[in-house]
């Protein structure tokens, strides 16, 4: 029973974890791409990694916190422009192939020895090199604080301060996305998703709108990378394809083309993922299940279940929990 409570607390903790906020942020950006505009961006992890690098390297070089945030956003914007300009005139799956390739190129350059003095190569940038300016901003008193069963230090890596900033940023971006998607601009995006040619016939520059959506969503993705880097380190190999696919699963779970879908999806995804893994690990350690499933297999089975979940979601409930089946970008082209 005590064991079960521990597992439950850990899963509950995932609801508020900074990583959950980071994935929610990335999914909000992807939602703008896929949910509202119908763009198949398979390289969201590339945007996140670039954002994290922009943030971390600026701080390591001695820049102030706000400049680091701006550099991160600028990195996302530039990456989106480079990707979007050649490919947005092509069919959807080309964009998917190009974005996933570009994200891999970013990761390979990051882990290469070429710019090791900046990126730290394959072992990445350790958190202690860039966290200080961020933690100095904290106005929370020293010590620890407990909210129900969840107890963290006030200021530090895995702290309340990180959580407040992470979710504060998510809330700000949510309001921003809610405002722009109900504006005339947002209605054009949805028009492009539904019927590109009809929007073109209305005299809109479809290409330019798609590029704008890609840029804004990419900048949001870069912010997601910053949040991801706040409590941890910037390691290129932990921000690869798997991350992109998790972001997709989160978006489709919560519901594409909805405002709260990404946040809900991220919370449910990580709570369930943690519950499943700690639960299986506890079973493997304490019961006869351990003879069949060793603790190392738990991660692999967890990963397999994510893949199966994604498949089942797309086949049987592509609109996710909150979504509306009519507002689904799959039918396009």
Partner 1 sequence: MTADRPTITSRWSRLLAALALVLLPAMLVAPPATASTDDSPCEPDNSTPCIAVLVLNADNDRLGDVVVTVAGQGFSADLTTSADDAATVAAPQVGTYTVTIDPATLPDDQQLPEGAETELTVTAQNGATARAAFRVGPGAVAPAAPTADGSDDGVAGGTGDAPATEDGEGVGAAPEGDASQRALTFAQVWQQIGSGLRFGLLLALASIGLNLVFGTTGLSNFAHGEQFALGAAVGFITINQMGMSIWVGGLLTLAVCAFTGLAQDSAIWRPLRKRNVPVMQLMIVSIGLSITLQYVIQLMIGGGSERILSRNPQPLTLAGITLSTASWMSMVVALVCVLGIAWFLTRTRIGRATRAVSDNPALASATGIDPDKIIRIVWIMATGFAALAGLMWGVSFGSFNWQLGVQLLLLMFAAVTLGGLGTALGAFVGSLLIGQVVELSNLFIPSDLRYASALVILILVLLFRPQGILGRRERIG
* Distance in angstroms (rounded) separating the CA atoms of residues 19 and 230: 9
Paired tokens of 73: 């956003």
Q: CA-to-CA distance for 147 and 210, rounded, in angstroms?
A: 43
Out of 19, 126, 138, 154, the residue judged to bind partner 1 by CB under 8 A: 126
8 A C-beta contact, residue 181 and residue 259? yes
* Cα–Cα dist 33/41, whole Å: 7
Q: Is residue 308 at the binding interface for partner 1, with CB under 8 A as the rule?
A: yes
Is 183 one of the binding residues for partner 1 (CB under 8 A)?
Answer: no
138 makes contact with partner 1 (CB under 8 A): no
């079973």: which residue's tokens? Answer: 283
Using the rule CB under 8 A, is 19 a contact of partner 1?
no
Q: Alpha-carbon distance 227 to 69, whole Å?
A: 10
Alpha-helical segments (H) within the chain: 2-16, 18-30, 44-60, 65-87, 92-111, 116-119, 132-136, 160-181, 184-194, 196-201, 206-229, 241-254, 261-286, 295-316
The contact pattern for partner 1, residues 245-264, with x = CB under 8 A and - = no contact, is x--xx--x------------
User: Of residues 5, 61, 81, 114, which one binds partner 1 by CB under 8 A?
Assistant: 114
CB of 250 to partner 1, least distance (A): 13
Close Cβ partners of 159 (under 8 Å, ≥ 6 residues apart): 138, 152, 153, 231
Q: Which two tokens stand for residue 240?
A: 């690869």
Nearer to partner 1, 314 or 321 (CB): 314
Contact 130, 55 (CB under 8 A): yes
Q: Which stretch binds partner 1 (CB under 8 A): 182-190, 203-211, 275-283, 298-306?
A: 298-306
- With H, G, I as helix, E, B as strand and everything else as coil, classify residue 148: coil
Place of tokens 């961006």: 41
| Residue among 102 and 174 whose Cβ is closer to partner 1 | 102
Q: Which of 63, 133, 156, 303 binds partner 1 (CB under 8 A)?
A: 303
The least CB distance from residue 99 to partner 1, in Å, is 10
- Figure out which of the listed residues 70, 272, 314, 321 binds partner 1, where binding follows CB under 8 A: 314
Residues 41-100 that bind partner 1 (CB under 8 A): 42, 86-87, 90-94, 96-98, 100
With CB under 8 A as the contact rule, which of the stretches 65-73, 122-130, 215-223, 265-273 interacts with partner 1? 122-130
Binding-site ranges for partner 1 (CB under 8 A): 40, 42, 86-87, 90-94, 96-98, 100-102, 104-105, 107-109, 111-114, 122-124, 126, 233, 235, 237-238, 240-242, 245, 248-249, 252, 294, 296-297, 300-301, 303-304, 306-315, 318, 325, 328-333
């Amino acid at each position: 029973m005590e064991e079960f409570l521990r597992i439950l607390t850990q899963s509950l903790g995932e609801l508020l974890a900074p990583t959950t906020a980071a994935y929610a942020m990335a999914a909000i950006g992807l939602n703008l791409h896929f949910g509202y505009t119908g763009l198949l961006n398979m390289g969201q992890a590339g945007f996140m990694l670039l954002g994290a690098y922009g943030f971390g390297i600026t701080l390591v070089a001695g820049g102030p916190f706000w400049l680091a945030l701006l550099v991160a956003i600028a990195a996302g914007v530039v990456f989106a422009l480079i990707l979007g300009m050649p490919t947005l005139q092509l069919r959807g799956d080309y964009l998917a192939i190009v974005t996933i390739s570009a994200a891999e190129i970013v990761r390979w350059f990051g882990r290469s020895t070429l710019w090791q003095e900046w990126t730290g190569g394959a072992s990445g940038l350790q958190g202690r090199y860039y966290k200080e300016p961020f933690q100095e901003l904290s106005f929370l008193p020293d010590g620890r604080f407990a909210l129900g069963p969840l107890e963290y230090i006030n200021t530090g890596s895995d702290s309340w301060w990180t959580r407040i900033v992470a979710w504060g940023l998510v809330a700000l971006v949510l309001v921003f996305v809610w405002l722009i998607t109900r504006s005339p601009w947002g209605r054009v995006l949805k028009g492009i998703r539904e019927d590109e040619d009809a929007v073109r016939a209305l005299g809109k520059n479809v290409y330019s709108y798609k590029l704008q959506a890609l840029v804004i969503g990419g900048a949001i993705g870069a912010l997601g990378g910053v949040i991801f880097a706040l409590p941890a380190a910037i390691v290129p190999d932990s921000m690869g394809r798997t991350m992109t696919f998790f972001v997709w699963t989160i978006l489709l779970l919560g519901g594409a083309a909805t405002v709260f879908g990404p946040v809900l999806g991220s919370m449910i995804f990580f709570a369930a993922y943690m519950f499943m893994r700690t639960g299986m690990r506890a079973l493997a350690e304490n019961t006869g299940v351990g003879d069949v499933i060793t603790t190392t297999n738990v991660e692999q089975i967890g990963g397999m279940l994510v893949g199966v979940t994604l498949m089942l979601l797309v086949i049987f409930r592509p609109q996710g929990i909150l979504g509306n089946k009519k507002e689904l970008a799959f039918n396009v082209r």
